[in-house]
Structure 1
Amino acid sequence: MAGFTKSPPNAILMQFAEQERRRAGGPRVLDLGCGAGRNAVPLARLGWHVVGVDLSWPMLCAAAERVRAESLGDRLRLVLAPMGRIPAPDDSFDFVIAHGIWNLARSSAEFRGALREMARVARPGAALFVFTFSRHTFPPETEPSPGEPFVFTQFSGEPQCFLTEAQLVEELGLVSFVQEPGVPIREYNRPDPGALRSGAPVIYEGIFRREG
């Protein structure tokens, strides 16, 4: 747990959050899979009103300790809930963060349900910051689970979602989120052709926005 509480925030996310706060002025952000508050606590420091959602009680307890230590209780609320059932009204948030959470979906149905639920609570024009596993984690010949377009068990022995960039854009488009103009989707840890794979997942990081 100590490693999670001491992990620095995602620097690209923090930079975008500062820009978005100035641009949009909307104060409410949803951090899906907030864990021990790696990103949620710094976002609250930036002036956002944060709702952090996670399904791990120990992680939320660790986050709560950080909230108390920094006196951020008026800006950061922590909620125990699954990603597919967010306890918030429709159109609640100006900014949504899905940082290392959707890849934990165990089926394409669960993944798509989580996207629909995220879209339900996001306001029209809301920004979305995504950090999730890439299909390039595996060699091209690796097969997904039977009947699944992007669920694989070869990484951890458990079903997890690994999408191509085209699949990620398509799935988000189905819930009315489009890629932010001029902001490319970044990919991290992708090995060069013919190089040995490190064992770390390849990661996509991108910014999208809800239409409307």
Structure 2
Amino acid sequence: MNETTYEISARHYSDRAAERLAGADRWLLPILTTLSSRPGARALDVGCAVGTNSVYLAKQGYEVTGLDFSRRMLGAARTACRETGLDNPPTFVLQDFCSWVPEAEPFDLVLATAFVHLFPEPLDRTITDALLSHVAPGGSAIISTTVEANHSQALRSKHEEGPGPGQPLSDLRWRNHYTRESFQNVVTEASVSRPGGVWSVEEHVSRDPGRPQKFWSDMVVTRIG
């Protein structure tokens, strides 16, 4: 994705933070209640942007690490945390996930919201596999994206957002347009191919408010052993 385009979105993300934080009660909390993670469990928020989900997880008692490659986004995230007065504020790390090597043990929870779709295929599968590599035994990953209602809509959306004549792809933020089936396949295939242990996969799906042709698909992948 284009880093400059992402950087200038920090204000937009911050303006929507309160709305998205309130929305987490509707989509994220019901998923968290199904997990075995305990208070104080370690969570990784990949592509955390202005830290909205990181703050929410901290409020639920998680010890959170937020990861992003944008200084501007993380600056806004740290400001947001100071304003909340959290006793357990997230730790924010400036790093590209693709080259990140954590110093600590794997995480009880890995959250990646609207992240995998930023990579062109087949890198989306590679990135999904990398996300699962940071999940501790007994832990889970929540991998979320918007999905189209049907294949024709997905193809049309991707075409409409593509580069114009003579315009390099790198000038745009890449955006895969999945259907539920195609996104499920990416996540399921990554979990099946993981060496060692057994993984379970469960999808939570909800309609995207204001966009009737889109849904949110939240794939919960749990490392059983």
TM-score range, shorter chain: 0.7 to 0.9
Q: Report the counterpart of residue 82 of structure 2 in structure 1.
A: 68
Change (3 A) 1:211 1:156: farther
TM-score by length of 1: 0.74
Kindly indicate which of the two structures has a greater share of residues assigned to helix: 2
Change (3 A) 1:75 1:19: farther
SS at 2:86 equivalent:
coil
Distance (whole Å) between structure 1 residues aligned to residue 100 and residue 28 of structure 2: 22
SS in 2 for 1:24: coil
- 1:8 aligned onto 2:20: yes
2:159 is matched with 154
Q: Distance in 2 between matches of 1:107 and 1:31?
A: 22
Unaligned runs of 5+ in 1: 144-151, 191-197
Moved over 3 A (4+): 71-75, 135-138, 140-143, 198-202
Q: CA deviation at 1:6?
A: 2.7
Alignment of 1:19-168 (within 5 A): 20=35, 23-25=36-38, 27-72=41-86, 74-89=88-103, 91-109=105-123, 111-134=124-147, 136=149, 138-139=151-152, 142=155, 153-154=158-159, 156-157=161-162, 158=172, 159-163=174-178, 164=182, 165-168=184-187
Q: Which 5+ residue runs of structure 2 have no aligned equivalent? A: 1-10, 163-171
Structure 2 distance, partners of 1:206, 1:36, is 22
* 183, 204, 209: which one aligns with 2:217: 204
In 1, are the aligned partners of 2:65 and 2:92 still within 8 Å (CA)?
yes
Q: What is the deviation of 1:187? A: 4.7
Q: Residue type matched to 1:206 in 2? A: M
Residue identity over aligned pairs, in percent, reads 20
Q: CA RMSD in A?
A: 3.1
SS of the residue corresponding to residue 96 of structure 2 reads coil
Pairs aligned (count):
192
Which letter maps to 1:123? A
User: Which residue in 2 is equivalent to 1:179?
Assistant: 201
Question: Does the CA contact (< 8 Å) of 2:47 and 2:67 recur in 1?
Answer: yes
